[in-house]
Chains A and B, each alone.
Chain A
Amino acid sequence: MEQHRPPDPAIELKGISKAFGSVQANKGIDLRVMPGTIHGIIGENGAGKSTLMSILYGFYKADAGEVFIHGQRTRIPDSQAAIRAGIGMVFQHFKLVQNFTVLENVILGAEDGRRLRPELFRARGALKRLAEDYELIVDPDAKIEDLGVGMQQRVEILKALYRQADILILDEPTGVLTPAEADHLFRILDNLRAEGKTILLITHKLREIMAITDTVSVMRRGEMTATVNTAETSPEHLAELMVGRKVLLRVDKPLATPGKTVLEVEDLRVTDSAGVARLKGISLNVRAGEILGIAGVAGNGQSHLLEVLGGIRPATGTVRVNGAPIDLSGRCSDGQSRRARGVAHVPEDRQREGLIMEFAAWENMAFGYHHAPAYQKNALLMDNAAIRADTVTKMGHFDIRPPNPNLAARNFSGGNQQKLVLAREIEQHPDLLVVGQPTRGVDIGAIEFIHQRIVALRDAGKAVLLVSVELEEILSLSDRVAVMFDGRIMGERQAAQTDEKELGLLMAGMHGGAD
């Protein structure tokens, strides 16, 4: 019988190691990805996925190990070399020039010769062919700033393909997409695979891994812990591999028993400094003992809603907390006045807003509550010892590791940073918790814990307003769900009586049947 030699893997990594200071980000990573397949890489935040991809794309130099592309030992000192080797990368945060057209962005950096026109002509033809082959349909003359995120992502993919990439790396590609846009992306990836392209998909969403990949590798603490065929595994099994123990993927929560209305919002409007209307008449209410989830694709006004409720941004309209109106003018209302009214706010971005990264944990525990009487020694001085003691207690309640109140916030992992913020806000026993993206960039183990705490606050009879771009999170935590699109609320549903498909339509701005 004739021995058929299997093809060389499109990517083969042997013993890749990389350390940053004393942190070993990658430890002896081996990886084989066969051509014409979609290979998923999952892992918690800080597991080393991004470092590995950065090495593959020439941003970092590995301390040890070898890279083979189609069987050829390849050195990738910079991204130009990666492009020459046929590797294309689609970043989580797009790298597009906002006021250039699609066509100009595609040729940017790949211009040939002195004159632009022939290259633009050539690119136009190439884009047309790519659009036909892969359903990658984008108007080549549209300006980037006029395109939605889904379209912008297609431009990123087109850029890579125009540079003859046959290995495509996508870093968390669905984070900013509606479910429908994500489905479209998956169809594109499917077409690319059919044409023999190799795709590396980095994600933390187990559902996507199950839906689209052929094989999947799991990373944990800098090591590649397992590589399995997707068909032979399950989400529960993958989650266990990622975390190293069994994980509850669904929140078990008792039925809500809503009490009196805590938060009433009427006709809330916000116009930003550029004169763009961001909130166009939001009305909603949250009752004690229930969680209202606000679903929506990022950038549809949820952040502005959070900022208004947290006292960061002025607005017009009416907001009442426990029946009493609060000042929205921005003159004598700020985060302090909100806290005094029993409103706690967990901001969307813990590193930018929620924490001072250079402050120690104990200083962060007093952050925003630095006027609290319990934290003062006398009229002049703060009681640092009392704050430290309080921090130790709260770190225990929230299982924050390491339980060292003197450690700077930046030295905690993402999950523990988020727990610091949540511990600070929840342990103030607010009447209303306004929380944005509570588990963004947080590992699965911590997600489970954070969800339990939010539900526990609800069960203690407090009102919770939850904003998240993760539909799964919205559906599993909320009692009611409101969907925001373009600064408006498109509809409200009972969480138990809706599904991702219906919410997805609302998120895309389509009224889904009867309201």
Chain B
Amino acid sequence: MDVIPRWADVILIPLFSLVLAALLSAGVILAIGEDPVAAVKMMVNGALGSTYGWGYTLYYATNFVFTGLAVAVAFHARLFNIGGEGQATLGGLGVALVCLDLPWPHWILALPAAMAAAGLFGAVWAAIPAWLQARRGSHIVITTIMFNFIGAALLNYLLVNVMRPDGAMDPATRKFPPGTHLPTLHDILGLVGVPFSKAAPANISFLIALGACVLVWALIWRTRLGFQIRALGHSEPAAVYAGIRPVRIVMLTMLISGALAGCMAINNVMGEAERLVLNSVEGAGFIGIAVALMGRNHPFGVLLAAILFGFLYQGGAELALWTNIPRELIVVIQALVILFTGALDNMVRIPLERIFLTLRKRGA
């Protein structure tokens, strides 16, 4: 029998890890002579205290949901896709190509097309490492990381030499036409009379991210493909025995994973920037790894973890803006959260297991 009940595994352990990370962060803030209580207040206020703050928190969270789901799906087949950064970059290219060159009458038509292009470009960028892994045994961690750099370099070249409007100084495309502008949460909530900040970048992509969570959940736990993905992830010899073809499943899993990462571009490129700029992904591909790790590769966990990281991003930005706490320290806090929730999982788990064992013995 499992030592820890499931609820403790998914709630108590991340919670304790977070508390530990928070305490340590507080210690660090104290050490540089700032007030941790005030810092926490400012982060909460900045990220959750206004619809403006929420708008940014949810905007970041949307990015992290897509990249977190990408990592989670691949991980069910025990593939460590750390190429979310590159796949999302290429997804941005797909969105830009669709949005710039076609005369879209309305975003309702542009969005599905942009999503398809973003997914396709992300999937293609994942397909090459996937094929190398499935057929040639090249380790997917190495190849996906290399493809992050190739993707960045490719986009750099295209933006500087091909897609930059004549005479512009900025390595970016021109603005997307108005027919591709996505409704923001301000627009959507306005329909039902709920006031929401006009300046915040959160947009309809957040709802699509929620839908993606449900779809991924159904894929993994309700479909034959998900069954085969999980079987392969747990044991390749057993999967082969059952007539599951590893090459096929590895390819399909990575295509789905790459497409999810690519779809992030509808949020940051189409929804927020409304043009393609250099480094538009801003590290969200890597945060996705932490989000999936913390979310235990479950779509619902990914959603919660993504919102937490969205909070850390937005709250951190506020902190850097209004206090003497340097921006680097925000990175330290985020790193501590990743360290405790991901890497140091057993540090919390093992004592907790002991506690549950003693409780059970006494109960028995």
> Interface on A for B, CB 8 Å cutoff?
21-22, 310-312, 334-339, 345, 347, 352-359, 363, 366-368, 370-371, 376, 380-382, 384, 411
Contacts and interface: CB of A to CB of B under 8 A. Distances in A.
24 contacts: A21-B3, A22-B1, A334-B240, A334-B245, A335-B242, A336-B243, A339-B243, A345-B241, A352-B238, A354-B238, A355-B238, A356-B234, A356-B238, A357-B234, A358-B234, A359-B231, A367-B231, A367-B238, A367-B242, A368-B243, A370-B224, A370-B242, A381-B218, A382-B224
A411 B1 CA distance: 6
A353 B223 contact: no
Contact of B227 (A337, A338, A339, A382): A382
Given A21-B3, A382-B222, A384-B222, A335 B241 contact: yes
B177 to A, nearest CB: 36
Given A22-B1, A22-B357, A366-B227, A352 B243 contact: no
Interface string B118-149: 00000000000000000000000000000000
Given A312-B241, A353-B241, A367-B238, 11 more contacts: A22-B357, A334-B243, A335-B240, A335-B242, A353-B237, A354-B238, A354-B241, A355-B238, A381-B222, A382-B223, A382-B227
Nearest to A407: B1
Interface residues of B, number: 25
A193 to B, nearest CB: 42
A382 B223 CA distance: 5
A311 B235 contact: no
Interface string B89-107: 0000000000000000000
B360 interface: yes
Contacts, number: 75
A381 B223 contact: yes
Nearest to B218: A381
Interface string B75-115: 00000000000000000000000000000000000000000
Interface in B211-252: 218, 222-224, 227-228, 230-231, 234-235, 237-238, 240-245
Contacts of A358: 234
Nearest to B226: A382
A311 B242 CA distance: 9
A368 B238 CA distance: 9
A334 B242 CA distance: 8
B1, B218, B228, B361: residue with the most chain A Cβ atoms closer than 10 Å: B1
B222 A368 contact: no
Interface in B258-303: none
A366 B227 CA distance: 10
User: By DSSP majority rule, is chain A's interface helix, strand, loop, or mixed?
Assistant: loop
B352 to A, nearest CB: 13
A357 B224 CA distance: 18
Nearest to A347: B241
Contacts of B245: 334
A356 to B, nearest CB: 5
A294 B241 CA distance: 20
Contacts of B361: 22
A368 B241 contact: yes
Contacts of B223: 380-382
Nearest to B232: A356
A310 B223 CA distance: 25
Contacts of A363: 227
Given A21-B357, A359-B231, A382-B224, A338 B238 contact: no
A311 B241 CA distance: 8
Contacts of A336: 242-243
A347 B1 CA distance: 25
Contacts of A384: 222
Nearest to B361: A22
A21, A338, A411: residue with the most chain B Cβ atoms closer than 10 Å: A21
A352 B224 contact: no
Nearest to A334: B243
A117 B223 CA distance: 64
Contacts of B228: 370
A89 to B, nearest CB: 29
Contacts of A310: 241
B315 to A, nearest CB: 37
Nearest to B364: A22
Contacts of B240: 312, 334-335, 353
Contacts of B238: 352-356, 367
Contacts of B360: 22
B237 A352 contact: yes
Contacts of B2: 411
Nearest to A371: B224
Nearest to A339: B243
Contacts of A337: 243
B305 to A, nearest CB: 22
A357 B243 contact: no
Contacts of A371: 224
B235 A356 contact: yes
Nearest to A368: B242
A491 to B, nearest CB: 30
A22 B357 CA distance: 7
A21 B361 CA distance: 11
The 5 A-B residue pairs with the shortest CB-CB distance in the complex, in nearest-first order: A335-B243, A336-B243, A368-B242, A353-B241, A334-B243
Contacts of A368: 241-243
Nearest to A340: B243
